[in-house]
Chains A and B, each alone.
Chain A
Amino acid sequence: MTAGLGQAAVLAGFLAAVVGIVILGAGLVLHKSSFLSQGAIYAGMVLAAAIGATAVMEHALITHDFRLAFVAANNSRETPLFYSITGLWSALAGSILLWALILSGYIAAMAWRFRRRAEDPLVGVALIVCLVVAAFFFALMLGPANPFREVVGAVPADGAGPNALLQDNLLVVIHPPFLYLGFVGFTIPFAFAIGALVTGRLGESWLVDVRRWTLFAWGFLSVGIVLGAWWSYEVLGWGGFWAWDPVENASFLPWLTGTAYLHSAMAQERRGLLRVWNLSLLMATFSLTILGTFLTRSGVLESVHSFSESNLGPALIGFFGAIAVTSVGLIGWRGDLLRARTKVESALSREGGFLVNNLLFAGFAFVVLLGTVFPLFVAALAGKSVTVGRPYFDAMTTPIGLALLFFMAVGPVLSWRRTSPEVVRSRLALPAGAGVLVLLGCALAGVRGVGALLAFGLGAFAGATALRQLLGSLRSSARNGGRLGALLGRSNGGMIVHLGVVVIGVAMASAMSFGQRSQVTLLPGQPRAVDGQVLTYRGVRSIVSPAQTEQVALVEVAGRGLMRPGVSQFGTNTQAVGTPAISAGLRRDVYLTFDGPPQGSNRGVLIGLIVQPMVSWLWIGGAILALGVLVASFPRRRCRGGPVLLRPSPARSGARQPRPPEHEGIPVAASLSVAPRVD
């Protein structure tokens, strides 16, 4: 019954998507606006089907319905309600269902948002593209990733329970959904990009249509990545947060291309530049989400974040290939319409800065992609095994990261079209001074390592530039009666995001350069000083509940109190995993792992000690970044009575006008010769 209901819901979603594609396609071909206006109905049906299928699965998980193979493999009678609910995304088939649910939600939201333009062919094509993607994911659930498959043979009395690592920390509740909201969210801008190519409306209006959708997807993905790093730090017991694991890389790749797009889209909105590049970045971002899913869910690469293997490989790589071929083909077909009619006039200009920034992001993505897939190529071509790990990624990406910090400092002070060197010098004098002072101060304070010093100095440089821009906005707001609305908008939000990235960058440089790791044997009651910490072992304790059996070591850390690193076994799952104890602080974290139980006549225990400086700032940086995304997503209210400005007009889209970045309004008389085109 449960399986039948679930499969019926999935089939209904698939059929609704396919019928929607046919009706909308017919509307476009036959120019029938009545057909096009039905798009929202099919989007709603797809969403209803996805909600239905998810509800059936959640009910099965909560009621421990082990007739479903997915529930039997990822749930047990001992699994707490909380982790029963999150069990949906603890393995592949449920993750695909979550993907379909989120995608359906995005499609319905898009259909509602553009309901007054439902008869617009661009919106029609975009909706078709979204429904094609939805049909693909529903089809996966009808075939190789069927979450409603029943167990073969007798129904087990109890299930295996979720992977132990997935019931040890609350971050597992929000990290995957955030990541999926980011991944899946890029479907909307991708669909509009295809819509613009198909309809030939390749001006700037479609960029404005998808600006906020892209920003939200990027924000969710960014926060999802930070939460994933936090989960890794809290759960995996190695004291780190980023290991260049294939799953981590798969999430980072679309973030890199998406970040590049967020910058370069401004160059197109303002100057009509980089049209092919922007389309390519969106196509790449979306296709990388599919490629990443293939790399990490097909079993071709091993990952600590991958909790299942599957036979989805051919379907996913086929879909990726179809996206890539279609995208390249459409861009080639529309080549004539995509030619920019303006040029970058000066290297010292905002668009010049974006160009360099985009090359750095593209280079970063290239290195990460190459390093991730290289072992597959070597295995296929040379038949041998090679590992591309952290030493490679650190060596190749550190210079790019530092260069990005530098351009993050310089870019915001550049004006559109051209900026005189004198102006750049005067705008950068204070931020550069702050960067140099921080670098020198750190060196004199005993910080060693060129990479870390550069990260601190450039971080201060970039942070000071962002603060300078924000203070300019605050002053401007104060002059205009202190209206809070003047603090909103893309420019200010972007600077807050920059601050968040700087905080994350500096925290990463600190933790990766100056973290200390030791393993010590502690004897009962005997204090021992290690890496600046004084540890005293007070005994072990066993904690038994139906959901968890844990053996913890009681270790008193001077100034931090009693810490309880342990080893746990969850429910019926026989896998024992370490459950580290973390005492977080703004200056440093103390991280203990229980590496060996009491042994020998003296009953000593083996404790792992990791002292990580500034690691808490990673999560704080993530919160600052999220705040920046929120600020950027609200349009800034401009004061009345200012100079008359001429801006690109998305008149045909009917959307809100894009706001030129702060301090960059071009007086009418000066801008007429470069008046941006309107579709």
Chain B
Amino acid sequence: MAIVAVIGLAIGSGVGSGPSKPSRAARIAHLEAIIGCPSCTDLSVAQSSASTAVAIRNYVVGQVEAGVSDRAIEAAVEAGYGASIVLSPPKAGIDAVVWVLPLIAVLVGIGGLVVVFWRRRAPPATSASEDDRKLVEEVLGT
């Protein structure tokens, strides 16, 4: 079953269907998802139909078609609207903390699980008393 699932995932991920370099459409979709709409709350330009969002979407399409890199497009938008226009925090400097802390938490959690499941090998903390045994014998009628 695992093999069939892997085959399904391989088909669904488009393995072997083309070059691994992201397409222009994928780049545009990614950039529109991470750039915030300046006149909205919480929305990316991809999610908003506000005029400012539409303007930024058009700018992104134009820059991608002109061969400008993603990083350069992000930087240009940041220069115009401030760093907080990007909805995904950078992975460097103090901002990297928000990415790293969950990974540390995952490691701590896995470590905790290993300890808990390891402890199961310890001898049981309780044992049956004589009264318990009598109770069992009564119930079983032996």
* A residues adjacent to B (C-beta < 8 A): 237-240, 243-245, 302-304, 341-347, 352, 355-356, 359, 362-363, 366-367, 370-371, 374-375, 378, 381-382, 384-392, 395-396, 432-433, 435-436, 439-440, 442-444, 447-450, 452-454, 457, 517, 519, 593, 595, 608, 644, 668-669, 672-675
B interface SS class? helix
Sample of 27 A–B contacts (CB below 8 Å): A239-B47, A240-B47, A243-B42, A302-B41, A303-B42, A344-B120, A359-B112, A363-B102, A366-B102, A378-B95, A384-B83, A387-B36, A388-B89, A391-B34, A391-B87, A392-B87, A392-B88, A432-B1, A439-B5, A443-B12, A447-B12, A457-B8, A517-B47, A519-B49, A668-B136, A668-B139, A672-B128
Q: Does B72 contact A (CB under 8 A)?
A: no
B1-40 interface bits toward A, Cβ cutoff 8 Å, 1 = contact, 0 = none: 1001101110111100000000000000000011010001
> Does A244 lie within 8 Å of B42, measured CB to CB?
yes
User: Complex Cα distance A605/B44, Å?
Assistant: 24
- Considering only CB atoms, which chain B residue lies closest to A458 in the complex? B5
> Does A367 lie within 8 Å of B102, measured CB to CB?
yes
User: Complex Cα distance A363/B87, Å?
Assistant: 21
Given contacts A238-B47, A355-B113, A378-B94, 7 further A-B contacts (CB under 8 A): A302-B41, A304-B42, A347-B120, A370-B101, A370-B102, A444-B8, A668-B136
Picked from A245, A432, A440, the residue with its CB within 8 Å of the CB of B7 is A440
Interface size class of B (residues with CB under 8 A): 35 or more
Q: A303-B41, A344-B116, A347-B117 are in contact. Are A436 and B5 (CB under 8 A)?
A: yes
- Considering only CB atoms, which chain B residue lies closest to A379 in the complex? B84
> Does A342 lie within 8 Å of B125, measured CB to CB?
yes
Picked from A238, A363, A444, the residue with its CB within 8 Å of the CB of B11 is A444
User: Complex Cα distance A385/B44, Å?
Assistant: 17
Give the residues in chain A near B89, CB-CB below 8 Å. Answer: 374, 386-388, 392
User: Complex Cα distance A323/B65, Å?
Assistant: 55
> Does B126 lie within 8 Å of A673, measured CB to CB?
yes
Q: How many A-B residue pairs have CB under 8 A?
A: 174
Q: Does B79 contact A (CB under 8 A)?
A: no
A interface SS class? helix
> Does B43 lie within 8 Å of A363, measured CB to CB?
no
> Does B33 lie within 8 Å of A390, measured CB to CB?
yes
Q: Does B60 contact A (CB under 8 A)?
A: no
Picked from B14, B49, B82, B88, the residue with its CB within 8 Å of the CB of A389 is B88
CB proximity of B17 to chain A, nearest CB, Å? 9
Picked from A344, A371, A447, A457, the residue with its CB within 8 Å of the CB of B117 is A344
Give the residues in chain B near A347, CB-CB below 8 Å. Answer: 117, 120
CB proximity of A674 to chain B, nearest CB, Å? 7
Q: A443-B12, A457-B5, A519-B54 are in contact. Are A382 and B42 (CB under 8 A)?
A: no
